[in-house]
Amino acid sequence: MPIFGIFDNNNFYASCEKLFAPRLKDRPVVVLSNNDGCVVARSAEAKALGIPMGAPWFKLQDLARQHEIVAFSSNYELYADLSDRVVQVLRLFTPNLEVYSIDESFLSLDGFSHLDLADYGRQIRERVLQWVGLPGCVGIGPTKTMAKLANHCAKNGFAGNDGVCNLLALSAVDLDDLFGRIKVGEVWGVGRKIDARLQEMGISSVRDLRDADPAMIRSRFSVVLERTVRELNGVSCLSLKEVAPDKQQIMCSRSFGEPVYELDDLLDAVATYMSRAAEKLRQQQGVAAALMVFLQTNPFKPAEPQYHPSMTLPLPDPTSDTRVLVQWGLRVVKRLYRRGYAYKKAGVMLSGIQPEGMSRGSLFDSQSSTDAKAGNLMALMDGINQKWGRGAIRLATEQQHHPWQMRRDRMSPRYTTSWDELPGVLAK
């Protein structure tokens, strides 16, 4: 029987912010979305105040003053680096691991059944806390769905207060009682719409869903939910994905910090986004056969003139060359741009992605002789930017300073990835 574990960092973004600021230990902390708009992460103290996810920050000003809530802009570089450090620690506990998200990883614990798995989970938590400084919980079960459910129990004190829940250690009676106390909406993959439909059918708890007829669930919902039912019965239907599949589409878009009116600013933004998308494309060793560019005014200001154009362009030859992709992207922007609109957002998407070297050149292909040189140039550019920071070397079409860049006025230092922002220690 397979054994799955999952490690989930508690309040990940907020915990990252508290890690380098001991003064915030017991303070409510929230992390805001792009342009410091809405709450996207909350510390335990902020949750206790009843602050909901997605709450606009400007509406929380009175509450923030009353309870001394500290708000941070999203510091994605810091979060990604700390996430990588957590994964490095987790790999010491299992040879097989799936990074599910920035704050969650599945671990294969096959062959570990001779150990006290709950104690092993506690060792994982303690090691991550000691070496990285971030708290987390561990759930263990015979399927991925049950491991996720065990993690929910560990976080919410359904199985003690040590942050670990091992469903394999429970008797059938205890497991039945536990599943009866958990709402069906807590099951991995059961969203609000599915939850509402299940409630109408009298399926309100995890136990109810587990005991439902899989064939009936498949006919009324989908094969995905049928697999969930089988997984709740201990039948493993979802395997560990140790290597993330290549993306079929790569998108890069951002809302602007301020409305953009001029074509030059839009060209700069799209060149920057396309360069980032091309870098991601090369990371998976792919080439794109088409690109799409879109512009957008602010839909939340209906009194202003609205304009939401987009255009998809097939490329003459599949490529990952930043220069070629940016060149075509800028041509599209010039076609889409209309003066007089206040643009709030722009974005690009690469599609028709295939492995490099697999595409067939056209009869009139004039670039085959330069492919090797272009590949070497892109590899050199990626290597320099990886070593010295993104933007260390870039195309001339990308400005050094972006007036349209999203607002992040509350961003903490990038403590672990920037020499200029390393935390300082005063010694007396």
Question: What CATH number has the domain bearing residue 274?
Answer: 3.30.1490.100
Torsion of CA 243, 245, 250, 253, to 10 degrees: -50
354-355/250-260 β-pairing: unpaired
**Number of compact structural domains in the chain:** 1
Q: Is residue 353 part of a domain?
A: yes
**Cβ-based neighbour number of residue 95 at 10 Å:** 11
> Which pair of structure tokens corresponds to residue 20?
């380098």
CB-neighbour burial class of residue 350 (10 A; exposed 0-12, middle 13-18, buried 19+): buried
Q: Which residue has the tokens 């909350």?
A: 42
How many Å apart are CA 222 and CA 236, to the nearest integer? 17
pLDDT of residue 396: 76
Instruction: Provide DSSP, 301-322.
Output: -TTS-----EEEEEEEEEE--H
What b-and-e string marks burial along 135-162, b requiring 16 or more CB atoms within 10 Å of the CB?
bbbbbbbbbbbbbbbbbbbbbeeebeee
pLDDT of residue 255: 87
To 5 degrees, how large is the angle CA 74–CA 271–CA 421?
Answer: 35
> Which pair of structure tokens corresponds to residue 113?
């059944």
Q: Is residue 329 part of a domain?
A: yes
pLDDT of residue 157: 81
343-351/286-297 β-pairing: antiparallel
pLDDT of residue 119: 94
pLDDT of residue 37: 84
Question: What are the CA-CA distances from residue 37 to residues 50, 59, 74, 149 (Å)?
Answer: 18, 10, 10, 31
Q: Which residue has the tokens 């069906």?
A: 184
The tens-digit pLDDT sequence of the chain (428 residues) is 799 999 999 999 999 999 999 899 899 999 998 888 899 999 999 999 999 999 999 999 999 999 999 999 988 889 999 999 999 999 999 999 999 999 999 999 988 888 899 999 999 999 999 999 999 999 999 999 999 999 999 998 877 678 999 999 999 999 999 999 999 999 998 988 999 999 999 999 999 999 999 999 999 999 999 999 999 999 999 888 866 676 788 999 888 888 999 999 999 999 999 999 999 999 888 999 999 999 999 998 888 999 999 999 999 989 999 999 999 999 999 999 999 999 999 999 999 888 877 655 555 555 554 567 788 888 888 888 877 777 777 787 776 666 677 677 788 888 888 878 888 777 77
Q: Is residue 127 part of a domain?
A: no
Domain that holds residue 271: 250-388
How many Å apart are CA 235 and CA 420, to the nearest integer? 51
**Which uninterrupted H or E stretch holds 119?**
helix 117-131
φ, ψ for residue 31, nearest 5 deg: -115, 135
Short-list 136, 15, 22, 10, CA closest to 72: 15
**Cβ-based neighbour number of residue 372 at 10 Å:** 9
Q: Rg of the chain's alpha carbons, rounded to an integer?
A: 25
Query: Please, where are the H alpha helices in 315-418?
Result: 322-336, 371-388
**Which uninterrupted H or E stretch holds 72?**
strand 70-73
pLDDT of residue 243: 62
Q: Is residue 300 part of a domain?
A: yes
How many Å apart are CA 283 and CA 357, to the nearest integer? 15
pLDDT of residue 384: 82
Coil vs helix vs strand at 162: coil
Q: Is residue 238 part of a domain?
A: no
Name beta bridge partners: 296.
345
Q: Is residue 423 part of a domain?
A: no
Q: Is residue 156 part of a domain?
A: no
Q: Is residue 49 part of a domain?
A: no
